[in-house]
Chains A and B, each alone.
Chain A
């Protein structure tokens, strides 16, 4: 069965510092992988996705993520965090095709210090 683990419940970084949010997945085949962001009081917005091809994917707002099959990971990174990046971040894995369901991780809440 598919599963997603986000080991960090809460992370605090200083504005301008780099960021890496961890995501590990469990799935037998090549997964579809996603990062979503939820700002306070908002729905979830897609940051980026990986389906195939280049393992380093670029997303919106300056985020990127790298798919590492050997580590079953899809970590999200940003070189310089802005105060507006404070939000909750969710990693998700999908089986694709007919099943087309996403399984979400429990989320990582990012706080940004001035």
Chain B
């Protein structure tokens, strides 16, 4: 059974970067499609990007292209999401979630990581 455990809450200043980790257990990371989804306070779910295991490419939502980097450390089965040039609108809960294929439903979710951007 796949489980995802994310890193703890972060407080960052505008312009800084944040890197959130997501540790996978019960499965091999490379066989999964790892997605990152965020949710601003009182708002809906927003897809940031996901890994396509079929071709090994990461697809980023256009809104975040150039500012987000999603990586994986296969030696530790840990995925990372780094978001740069933070602004107050990036204050949100960030989730990692896995699916069998990039187009499939995300059936396992991490507990979420709160990122607060404030001067």
Q: Do A and B truly interact? A: no
